[in-house]
Chain A
Amino acid sequence: MNFMRIRIDHIAKIEGHASFTADIVRGDIKAAKIKIEEGARLFEGIMRDRKDIEVPELGSRICGVCPVVHTFAGFKALEDAYRIKVEEPALSLRKLMMMGQLINSHSLHLFFFSLSDFFGFKNDLELINAYPEKTHDALKIRDVGNKLVETIGGRTIHPLTPCLGGIRQAPDSEKLKKLLDDCKNILPLAIKLSELFINLKYPDFIRKTHYVSLTSYSEYAIYEGKLKVNGMELEPKEFLLRIKEFQAEDKVVKRTHFEDRSYMVGALARLNNNRDRLNLEAGKLLEKSRLKFPCYNPFYNILSQAIEVVHCFEESIKILDKLLNQNIKASEANVKNKTGEGIGAIEAPRGTLFYDIKIKNGITESVNIITPTAQNLANLEDDLEEIEKLGGFKDLSREQKEDKIKMLIRAYDPCVTCSVH
């Protein structure tokens, strides 16, 4: 067959609503496009002319899967604009919430969105029935993530305690002790889940690209750091100056390029850039996986998330151990001059999220939000353009081809809801 049109409406098991179209002409994919089917909500517009503090509070509503990162990206941008430094223990409490956010988002994607693709299940109920014990493990893992966010943030979705300069209310230390026990008890399950993902067979597909993430000398960067890209380390401000946001007609999401090329953010980008700073067990698992770096196979974003879940459990144990040895107090900054420009950059589960803001006398003048999925879209489309290079692709049936395309899209863990904001 010389010509085949592929059209996948409403791709399942991603957060939000998107479709895919492409033509295959003599075995070559042409015009691979992800169409975002969400309505524009104009978040950057509605934040304008309102109080500064509404940037994180409204921003959280962009997404129910990763509200913690939107909250913190907003606060970090404000704190950057006002030159406020968040001190301990508030900083550790925020980092702990981020661990919870990564655990709950990754475990959802790994088990409920991605795993079925490896077994050919079209409905998670088949997966749940085939692997009841693993399902319960996945839920227990996810539950610890939720508890980390809830105990410190006041609730699981749209956290309440973060405030300018810190955390508005100190968590109960008894509850933190319980959390530490939970993390220790569930860590072996996280390792087991990660091993399951190590033993899966990933499609054979390689395309060189840039990998972008935060990086830090002291830790595996999630909450803060500089941007690592192509061997360079850039301040967030410098990075934003060097990327270009562009919007094709009819497209509700602006795609981005770094130096005229697409790039990938997310768990695989973080492992490519920072894997030597993983915690012990996560590092061991990475070794066991025999993954070679730099890894240019986007399907391994799935395995990277599984390894990060273990890292996040270990990191939570470290942070909690440290916190429980000190007096945990709430802290809030008293800001006099509420005028300035600032950038908040943070590693969301799906990659680096930016809030770039301008505030005058406590009122927001402008906000630009650049989400991980918006950044990944150009890279994903470039991957899809070359998907015929995936091992054995040309011999697959139409349905099998579509399944591989969906699997690649889901490997990116796109959050369409976030990308349209």
Chain B
Amino acid sequence: MSIFDLGERFLEFLTKVDIGDFRLVEELPDVDKYDIAIVEGTPITKENKKRLKEVRQKSKILVAIGACACMGGVQEIKDYRGDKKQLIRQIYPNIRGIDNPNIKAVKEIVKVDLEIPGCPINKEEFFKLINQVLEGKIPEIPQNPVCVECPRRNKNCLILLGKPCLGPISLAGCGAPCPAANFLCDGCRGPRKGSNLEAMKNALKIKARLSEEEIENLLERFGKLNELYANKN
């Protein structure tokens, strides 16, 4: 939807590319090769995974966009609970034929050349990065914390006010709309490289007075298993 929200710029973008498969705007047969494939969402069904592998094979560059594709998204919460088999029974009387695998980010299934994270993605950032891809570059998102973009930094910092916020460990590039709206950064873009998870947890415990459970719940909002604990480099 963010891509549609680019409005006129989206139309201009369409004139620069040939659309291969974009079911929201066309219903023509699929093409044989892609220069660039943009993938959103989490592959859950067997069919999803098959299609993802097929698209990877056909494409020179594969870009994953959004928290679901890059990290697993909120649906990964079911995997942390340890009761996903009971959950599906509570929701569906008939569970036969409904896939309920552990949630995987796109990069756990195929090679990803560029990730543009966020829930939602920042359309401005997307537009900038995708144009660089069109020029043949693979851009890198600077590893800054959300705090560098936050209008509340220094005197109005949510953490200093005793409220929870994941800004210090989360990857910037969104423009910090959440803290600007007096809403905590809930880490939808995932952690930046080299962030200090322990210090973050301490701040949430001491400054924001969150319990261990509340901290874990907050950290797992958009898929922590793949990112937060694995990402020490």
Contact = CB atoms under 8 A, between A and B. Distances in A.
B74 A128 contact: no
Interface string A58-70: 1001001100000
Interface in B168-216: 177-178, 180-183, 186, 214
Contacts of B45: 37-39
Contacts of B139: none
A99 to B, nearest CB: 17
A391 to B, nearest CB: 24
B97 A139 contact: no
Nearest to A135: B11
B27 interface: yes
Contacts of B120: 64, 155-158
Interface residues of A, number: 57
Q: Which of A58, A135, A252, A254: most chain B CB closer than 10 A?
A: A252
B156 interface: no
Given A10-B23, A13-B27, A39-B99, A168 B182 contact: yes
Contact of B217 (A50, A113, A156, A247): A50
Contacts of A136: 8
Contact of A42 (B43, B78, B183, B217): B78
Interface string A155-174: 11110110000001100000
Contact of B24 (A12, A122, A139, A160): A12
B136 interface: no
Q: Which of B26, B44, B73, B99: most chain A CB closer than 10 A?
A: B26
Nearest to A15: B24
Nearest to A13: B24
Contact of B90 (A45, A156, A158): A45
A40 B44 contact: yes
Interface string B4-33: 110110010010000100011111100000
Q: Which of A41, A139, A156, A251: most chain B CB closer than 10 A?
A: A41
B84 interface: yes
A51 interface: yes
Contact of A41 (B43, B44, B183): B44
Nearest to B122: A155
A43 B92 CA distance: 12
A154 B180 contact: yes
A142 interface: yes
B93 A247 contact: yes
B183 A160 contact: yes
A125 B214 CA distance: 48
B91 A42 contact: yes
A241 interface: no
Nearest to A367: B91
Contacts of B7: 139, 142-143
A124 B25 contact: yes
A249 B97 contact: yes
Interface string A33-53: 000011111111110111100
Nearest to B183: A160
Given A51-B217, A122-B27, A40 B100 contact: yes
Given A123-B19, A156-B5, A45 B25 contact: no
B94 interface: yes
B87 A160 contact: no
15 contacts: A37-B45, A39-B43, A40-B92, A41-B74, A42-B87, A45-B84, A46-B78, A54-B217, A125-B14, A125-B26, A142-B7, A161-B181, A247-B92, A247-B94, A252-B98
Given A45-B81, A250-B97, 14 more contacts: A13-B23, A38-B44, A39-B45, A61-B119, A112-B24, A125-B14, A125-B25, A135-B11, A155-B181, A156-B2, A158-B120, A249-B97, A250-B94, A254-B92
Interface of A: 10, 12-13, 15, 17, 37-46, 48-51, 54, 57-58, 61, 64-65, 108, 112-113, 122-125, 128, 135-136, 139, 142-143, 146, 153-158, 160-161, 168-169, 247-252, 254, 406
Task: Give the 9 A-B CB pairs with smallest separation, nearest first.
Answer: A39-B44, A154-B181, A45-B87, A12-B27, A250-B97, A157-B120, A160-B181, A123-B26, A46-B77
